[in-house]
């Protein structure tokens, strides 16, 4: 298990795959096989993307290139003042040209070193903690009881009853702006004789109120 602790992502992927396979054989997962296939493919793609990200962190830039670049930058650092004195007699222009010439190339070299590994705790690295917190909050939201209610379209709706029951969803985050009574009343028009007409009325009302 000591070796397995180093490969936590692969071990957890295997656990979840075995659990899903066992649940399918026991009848716990009753989804059609194409949907389960997509779930397995999504997990596999996530593991592959994780390994690609690990390559950025584990595979350093080749050392010969880094050493050769620093040697050339050092030579440039010492030769630039000499060339500048030949080019101009002004001390101010010599210092100015030397500073910006040397500083620009060294800055690019140091920035490339910072971008080599974006996973860390520096200010220039990706904020992995914030990203993980956002993923966790999304998962907790999906498992919340208030998110299990599936909305449906009805040909007749009581606006007062709809506003009274809206308090049931007060815990949900605001994804879209709340529609006013004019939008709701126009969405459920009495002349909608079929499901197609009702859907078209809903879409038209949402677009009109968004553009208003």
pLDDT at residue 31, rounded to an integer: 82
How much is the pTM?
Answer: 0.51
Query: Which of 209, 207, 141 has its CA nearest to residue 172?
Result: 141
pLDDT the model gives residue 9: 85
105 vs 183, which has greater pLDDT?
A: 105
- CA-to-CA distance for 127 and 117, rounded, in angstroms? 13
Overall average pLDDT of the 55-70 stretch: 86
Q: How confident is the model at residue 171 (pLDDT cuts 50, 70, 90)?
A: very low
Listed in sequence order, the DSSP H helices in the chain are: 2-6, 8-25, 33-58, 63-87, 91-115, 128-142, 159-165, 181-187, 195-211
Report how far residue 188's alpha carbon sits from residue 191's, in angstroms, rounded to the nearest whole number.
Answer: 9
**Sequence ranges of the domains in the chain:** 2-59, 63-115, 153-211
63 vs 210 pLDDT, higher one: 63
What's the Cα-to-Cα distance from 127 to each of 17, 113, 122, 131, rounded to whole Å? 29, 18, 9, 6
């Amino acid at each position: 298990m000591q070796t397995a602790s180093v490969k936590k992502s692969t071990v957890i992927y295997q656990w979840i795959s075995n659990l899903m396979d066992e649940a399918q054989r026991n009848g716990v997962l009753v989804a059609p096989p194409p949907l389960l296939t997509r779930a397995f493919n999504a997990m596999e793609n996530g593991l592959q993307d994780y390994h690609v990200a690990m390559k950025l962190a584990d595979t350093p830039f080749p050392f010969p290139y880094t050493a050769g670049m620093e040697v050339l930058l050092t030579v440039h650092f010492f030769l630039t003042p000499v060339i500048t004195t030949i080019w101009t007699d002004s001390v101010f222009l010599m210092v100015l040209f030397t500073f910006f010439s040397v500083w620009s190339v060294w800055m690019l070299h140091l920035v490339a070193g910072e971008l080599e590994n974006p996973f860390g705790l520096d200010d220039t690295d990706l904020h992995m903690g914030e990203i993980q917190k956002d993923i966790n909050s999304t998962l907790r939201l999906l498992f919340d009881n208030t998110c299990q209610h599936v909305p449906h379209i009805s040909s007749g709706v009581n606006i007062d009853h709809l506003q009274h029951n809206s308090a049931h969803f007060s815990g949900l985050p605001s994804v879209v702006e709340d529609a006013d009574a004019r939008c709701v009343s126009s969405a459920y028009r009495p002349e909608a004789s079929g499901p197609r007409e009702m859907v078209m009325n809903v879409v038209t009302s949402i677009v009109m109120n968004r553009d208003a």
